[in-house]
Amino acid sequence: SLTEKFDSVFKKLRGHGRLSEENIRDALREVRLVLLEADVNYKVVKDFVASVTARAVGQDVLKSLTPAQQVIKVVRDELGLLMGEGEDNSLDLAARPPVSIMLCGLQGAGKTTTCGKLALKLRKEKRNPLLVPADVYRPAAIEQLKTVGRQIGIPVYDTQPGQDPVAICEAARHFADLNGYDTLILDTAGRLHIDQELMGELSRIKASLDPREILFVADAMTGQDAVTVAKAFDELLNITGVVLTKLDGDARGGAALSIRAVTGKPVKLVGMGEKLDALETFHPDRMAQRILGMGDVLSLIEKAESAIDRDQAADMEQRLRKEGFNLETFRDQLQAVKKMGSMESILKLIPGAGKALKKAGDMQLPDKELKKIEAIINSMTRRERRDHRILNGSRRLRIAAGSGTTVQDVNQLLKRFTEAQKMMKKMQKLGPKGLKSLMGR
Ligand code: GDP
Ligand code: MG
């Protein structure tokens, strides 16, 4: 899958300590291939790689302590931008009712299903929608919309097969006006391929109803083809947005990226299943994440980067290498981790760390607890901090007295510390950098 391929490209990148411009260019060449294989339009890929390259080989990345992660971040950011991050992709229904929403697209894209989903969503938003069957060529099409309407309790404008779709839409608008429906959802016909007759009909519906939203419905599984079709529909109808369906399957995600880039129109909604409540708002950042397939590792990187000073991170890394994981480094790491949020929330971001986390027990440390730990560790001698195994009963007693805590507190800390030690070993199994990126960065 696209996700797996990205993963392997980035694994290679991570293998390097410092990166050369050559490393980065190699990686981006692979990113390019991966995107092309995912059916992303070649021109979109070309522009994408160019802008990522420009940013990634910049001085900031090369000089940074974590160039691989920086490159990944650039790829992620650019992917998000390409998918419309930061732009408004909400439905615009602010017009005098009844407002029309026209759904169009090829046969099987998911128009009829999406009409139902949309009606349900709008009713939850306190609107009063009416479904309009404007696909009159197949008798079954009208029946299908009626079935959908029945399932969600939303009325379907009553009509017979064979009538003119424009006339149906106009009559439905009149009916809505008289009966207090504020939103018309037009389920138009589709064909297997773009054909002039259909396109002419859609233009006439548009001209007559002046829909506030014209949504192109695309099957996310169809990749590159969807792009050509989207372009044709947009040129003819000047669509206002895109609905991407069947994203619940293992769609490669290339379609979302290309359609948005080629038409310049935002993806507004995504279909996540056949059920009528499976319609979601499109989140460009999540889609970028999905394509990158690295779970929330990226947000971990960001968190860590903003919270911890780089020099301190480098320093910590060196100390860990030299001194190993002992009570002293443990204490300092806890402080660093505290800056990033709770230990648990950070561990949760790391794929596969869930199990290690459960075994380690509850690692969440409230402020008070952290202060206690610091006090206890500060009351130890240097030797004790570096080798906790020498902490016998009398030493523990002394430390408790010195830190204003109890022997139980000291015991509990040591238990925690040994759990953390075990967990570190688990983390190391996840990858050589897992530990460092958790504790050091
Ligand atoms: P239309 O020809 O464009 O009206 O497409 P339909 O609404 O009839 O949908 C075609 C098929 O795709 C139906 O079997 C739907 O159940 C299915 N479908 C539509 N949207 C989704 C979705 O988001 N996820 C999944 N898995 N199937 C969908
Ligand atoms: Mg249909």
The model's pLDDT over 164-211, given as tens digits with 9 standing for 90+, comes to 999 999 999 999 999 999 999 999 998 888 889 999 999 999 999 999
For residues 378 and 413, the answer to whether their CB atoms sit within 8 Å is: no
Mean pLDDT over the full length of the chain = 80
Ligand 1 close to Cβ of residue 109 (< 6 A): yes
**15 annotated to bind ligand:** no
Q: Where are the beta strands (DSSP E) in 82-195?
A: 99-104, 129-134, 183-188
How many residues does the structure list for the chain?
A: 441
> 15, exposed or middle or buried, with CB in 10 Å at 0-12, 13-18, 19+?
exposed
CA of 141 to the centre of ligand 2 (A): 6
Q: What is the pLDDT of residues 352-402, one digit of tens each?
A: 444 444 444 444 456 677 788 889 999 999 899 989 999 999 999 999 999
Q: Measure Cα distances from 320 to 221, 315, 331, 332, 378 in Å.
A: 47, 9, 12, 11, 19
CA pair distance 435, 416, nearest whole angstrom: 17
Average pLDDT over residues 55-76: 68
Q: What stretches of 153-190 show up as alpha helix (H) in DSSP?
A: 165-179
Residue from 245, 250, 277 to probe ligand 1 pocket by mutation (most atoms less than 8 Å from CB)? 245
- Strand order across the beta sheet in which 99-104 lies: 129-134, 183-188, 99-104, 213-219, 241-245, 267-271, 279-281
Q: Which of 68, 67, 31, 36 is nearest to 51 (CA)?
A: 31
CA of 102 to the centre of ligand 2 (A): 13
CA pair distance 105, 187, nearest whole angstrom: 10
Note the pLDDT of residue 164.
Answer: 94
Cα 15-340-402 angle, rounded to 5 deg:
115
Within 10 Å of residue 232's Cβ, how many Cβ atoms? Answer: 14
- CA-nearest residue for atom 5, ligand 1, is 110
pLDDT at 151 over 90: yes
**111 annotated to bind ligand:** yes
Note the pLDDT of residue 253.
Answer: 67
Note the pLDDT of residue 257.
Answer: 77
* Closest ligand 1 atom to 187 CA: 4
Ligand 1 close to Cβ of residue 254 (< 6 A): no
* Closest ligand 1 atom to 115 CA: 7
303: confidence class by pLDDT, cuts 50, 70, 90: very low
CA of 220 to the centre of ligand 1 (A): 11
DSSP code, position 253: S
Average pLDDT over residues 302-326: 60
Average pLDDT over residues 257-285: 90
**241 annotated to bind ligand:** no
Domains 99-291 and 297-440 share a fold: no
CA pair distance 172, 426, nearest whole angstrom: 64
pLDDT at 312 over 70: no
4: confidence class by pLDDT, cuts 50, 70, 90: low
Note the pLDDT of residue 208.
Answer: 97
CA pair distance 227, 89, nearest whole angstrom: 19
How is residue 98 written in tokens? Answer: 């009844």
CA of 107 to the centre of ligand 1 (A): 10
* Closest ligand 1 atom to 113 CA: 7
Note the pLDDT of residue 258.
Answer: 85
- Which is higher by pLDDT, 19 or 189? 189
Note the pLDDT of residue 250.
Answer: 65
Question: What angle, rounded to 10 degrees, do the helices at 42-56 and 67-82 form?
Answer: 140
CA pair distance 17, 62, nearest whole angstrom: 11
CA pair distance 134, 188, nearest whole angstrom: 5
Ligand 1 close to Cβ of residue 111 (< 6 A): yes
**245 annotated to bind ligand:** yes
CA of 169 to the centre of ligand 1 (A): 23
Give residues with Cβ within 8 angstroms of 247, minimum separation 6: 220, 256, 270, 271, 272
> 38, exposed or middle or buried, with CB in 10 Å at 0-12, 13-18, 19+?
buried
Ligand 1 close to Cβ of residue 137 (< 6 A): no
> 97, exposed or middle or buried, with CB in 10 Å at 0-12, 13-18, 19+?
middle
Q: What is the CATH number of domain 99-291?
A: 3.40.50.300
Q: Three-state DSSP class for 184?
A: strand
Average pLDDT over residues 34-47: 80
Ligand 1 close to Cβ of residue 149 (< 6 A): no
pLDDT at 302 over 50: no
pLDDT at 344 over 80: no
Number of H helices, E strands in the chain: 22, 7
- Domain 2-82 CATH class label: mainly alpha
Which single residue is written with the structure tokens 């300590």? Answer: 17
Note the pLDDT of residue 315.
Answer: 66
Average pLDDT over residues 157-169: 91
* Closest ligand 1 atom to 245 CA: 23
Q: Which of 204, 215, 236 is nearest to 102 (CA)?
A: 215
Which fold would CATH assign to domain 297-440?
434 Repressor (Amino-terminal Domain) (1.10.260)
Ligand 1 close to Cβ of residue 113 (< 6 A): yes
Q: What is the pLDDT of residues 74-126, one digit of tens each?
A: 887 888 888 888 889 999 999 999 999 999 999 999 999 999 999 999 999 99
Average pLDDT over residues 248-253: 70
Domain ranges, ordered by start, for the chain: 2-82, 99-291, 297-440
Ligand 1 close to Cβ of residue 246 (< 6 A): yes
- CA-nearest residue for atom 20, ligand 1, is 110
Note the pLDDT of residue 248.
Answer: 83
What end-to-end distance do the CA atoms of the chain give, in Å?
A: 30
pLDDT at 212 over 70: yes
